[in-house]
Structure 1
Amino acid sequence: MFEALVTLCLAASDATCSARLLPGYEAPTEAACRDALRDAPPDPKAVPERLIAEAPVCRPTGEVLEMVEVAPGVFAHEGRIAEPDAENRGDVGNLGFVIGETGVAVIDTGSAPWMGDALWRAIRARTDLPVRHVVLTHMHPDHVFGAGVFERLGARVWGHADLPRALADRQSDYLQSLRASIGEAAFVDVTMPTLTDAVTDRAEIDLGERVLDLRAWPVAHTGNDLTVIDRRTDTLFAGDLVFARHVPALDGSLRGWRAVLADLQGMDVARVVPGHGGPSLHWPEGADPLARYLDVLEQDTRAALGAGARLSDAVKTVAQGEAAQWELFDDYNPRNVTVAYTEMEWE
């Protein structure tokens, strides 16, 4: 198979370039791909002014994300348990898609545009149905910055009603950090996702004989967590409300997260795709390590506050009994302690 690519360069620095997929021109031969470009050339006005675009070319199909079919028609990609860097190029979070009778829904899109391209190829390897929906489970950059390829195809973008404000407030910092860790070229054409459908409570997506239930949650892991349940297979996409192996990252409310997790564990679902690890967990026991960690984090923080410990001392002691149970513990636990300590300090 062949596909169309366009090389985009920053106008301010023509040495910073990256090849991007032009979806919709896939063909069995290079000649057929070129014919498709000739018959329906891409709109040059779609290229932002900050970029310079070279003429599109046809090449053999590029990188495809590895996917696991965790249930019939439900696919998940497991990101690495690592911080984003030049070697993993930001492939550090889970994402997936669900195939219905009339269309496809994507759940989370990765850290960078290349991941959206690779996810598109993974979908095309399994179905020709259109990608009609993208669901973003929360604001963190490893879940949202690959959405551009699907937006350009006209997919509806769903998220928590508080997601746009959260992204607007943090977008600059997120991109600065990712550019430093992964490289500028990975983000030459990155855009902030634009919600077309904001979820304040619950919503449904009909993929044709297959319905997805969306639910917005109170402040927990973040202030804009959203989950997806595929009714046909009882599969829950939990986003970062559920972690496995990767130590949990608290960016919202510890008490809120514990309450939401209890609600999730009470749901009658067969399996969960977490935001990290897995890629699929049995339910509800799959959340037991997370529930234990959050309990220890709260109890140890309360004990530290009760003993009059300063935050600088608490970060060295709170939840240390959990260190051997998680990866990236030293990267995230001090941040978690800081959030928990600040939340409970004025109770």
Structure 2
Amino acid sequence: MFEALVSLCLVADPTACREVLLPGFEASAQSTCAEALRAQAPDLVALFPTLAPGVPPRCGPVGTALDFEEAAPGVFVHLGRIAEPDRDNLGDVANIGFVIGQESVAVIDTGTTRAVGEGVWRAIRARTDLPVSHVILTHMHPDHVLGASVFVEAGAQVVANAALARALLDRQANYLESIATLVGPGAFVGTRAPRPDLAVEDRTQIDLGGGRILTLRTWPVSHTGTDLTVHDEGSGLLFAGDLVFQRHLPALDGSLRGWQRVMADMAALPVTRVVPGHGGPVLDWPDAAKPMQRYLDVLAADTRQALDAGVRLGDAVLTIAESERPRWALFDAYNPRNATNAFTELEWE
């Protein structure tokens, strides 16, 4: 198989370059790919206004696809690394899924960079030539949304919590700058923040054909203010995004009390398997809710104890939830932030 590629460089740094996948030109023969590329030459200036093409687009052998396991018939899940984005993992640090219906495919989260999204595209193309109709974003964090552009260029609609567009707009400059620094400017070439096409206020359904129905549901402020879950009605599998973590310490960027309530509501859902945002990649439910609930309860109890004792924030973050350290990866990266957010929320109870 062959695909279309173009070498792009940062205008501000001509040494930061990457060969970027142009979706939609895949073919079994290089000549067929090249003919399609000539017939439908993409407008590179419109697609990549801040980048400089090094050479004209070409067709080459298909690149490396991301690894996915089939969690249920037609439902595929990728396990992201339990790590922060860096120059080794190139941003492959979050779980990603896709669901194949009879008429189209839906992608659930897209990774931290366009390069990760391209790996997802290749994994889909290795299994089906159906169009990718929807990209569903479970929340606003960059490790889940910044790989979306390759699917947008292929014609997919971006679907998200109605609050995501504003929240991502407010943060996208910081996200783009910080991720580019973490993974390196070359690896980040072609990455940009998506804009949702379909805003979900409460619940909606997406029909991928052949009775493959996805039910999307938003949740009150908890992990973030933009959380959304995806339930594949056929398999019963629930994509929980970062409302559920396993091994990776939960990251609080919304409301601690809200997250505790949401976890209780989710534990009562009539589902038996969940794909978390990190860890797993498939967990038994509701058993997998217990470590999350314990951590959030300890975080709340320790914070209230510190507040009752009159401990200052700077000292409190050194002890809050410290008993949970042995149970989670990336504790030092996230627990101080969690403790700070919990402290500032609960001091006004």
Shorter-chain TM range is over 0.9
Partner of 1:67: 68
Give the aligned length.
347
1:37 corresponds to which letter in structure 2? L
Shift of 1:95: 0.8
1:230-278: CA deviation from partner (whole Å, max 9, x where unpaired): 0001110000000000010000000000101111111111210000000
Q: Which moved more, 1:62-71 or 1:50-59?
A: 50-59
User: Where do 5+ consecutive residues of structure 2 fail to align?
Assistant: none
Partner of 1:20: 20
Q: Which moved more, 1:117-126 or 1:41-50?
A: 41-50
Q: How does 1:1-347 map to 2 (within 5 A)?
A: 1-53=1-53, 54-208=55-209, 209-347=211-349
Shift of 1:12: 3.0
Shift of 1:45: 4.5
Shift of 1:34: 1.6
CA distance in 1, matches of 2:214, 2:157: 14
Give the 3-state SS of the residue equivalent to 1:198 in structure 2: strand
1:109-143: CA deviation from partner (whole Å, max 9, x where unpaired): 00000011110000011111110000000010000
Shift of 1:59: 1.2
2:74 corresponds to which letter in structure 1? G
1:273-327: CA deviation from partner (whole Å, max 9, x where unpaired): 0000000001110111111100111111111111111111111111111110000
1:179-207: CA deviation from partner (whole Å, max 9, x where unpaired): 11111122332222111100111111000
Give the 3-state SS of the residue equivalent to 1:274 in structure 2: strand
2:85 corresponds to which letter in structure 1? P
Q: Which moved more, 1:72-81 or 1:8-17?
A: 8-17
CA distance in 2, matches of 1:342, 1:300: 13
CA distance in 2, matches of 1:279, 1:271: 10
Give the alignment's Cα RMSD to 1 decimal: 1.1
CA distance in 2, matches of 1:330, 1:48: 37
Change in Cα spacing, 1:130 to 1:175, as seen in structure 2 (3 Å) is: same
CA distance in 2, matches of 1:75, 1:333: 31
Percent identical across equivalent pairs?
Answer: 59
Give the 3-state SS of the residue equivalent to 2:16 in structure 1: strand
CA distance in 2, matches of 1:82, 1:61: 27
CA distance in 2, matches of 1:326, 1:14: 41
TM-score (norm 1): 0.98
Give the 3-state SS of the residue equivalent to 1:14 in structure 2: coil
CA distance in 1, matches of 2:203, 2:9: 41
CA contact (8 A) 1:301 1:341 kept: yes
Q: Which moved more, 1:180-189 or 1:337-346?
A: 180-189
Give the 3-state SS of the residue equivalent to 1:22 in structure 2: strand
CA distance in 2, matches of 1:278, 1:243: 8
CA distance in 2, matches of 1:320, 1:49: 47
CA contact (8 A) 1:233 1:270 kept: no
1:301 corresponds to which letter in structure 2? T
User: Where do 5+ consecutive residues of structure 1 fail to align?
Assistant: none
CA contact (8 A) 2:95 2:281 kept: yes
CA distance in 1, matches of 2:306, 2:38: 68
CA distance in 1, matches of 2:327, 2:50: 46
Give the 3-state SS of the residue equivalent to 1:132 in structure 2: strand
CA contact (8 A) 1:105 1:134 kept: yes
Shift of 1:38: 2.4
CA contact (8 A) 2:176 2:192 kept: no
CA contact (8 A) 2:109 2:144 kept: yes
1:248 corresponds to which letter in structure 2? P
CA distance in 2, matches of 1:304, 1:169: 32
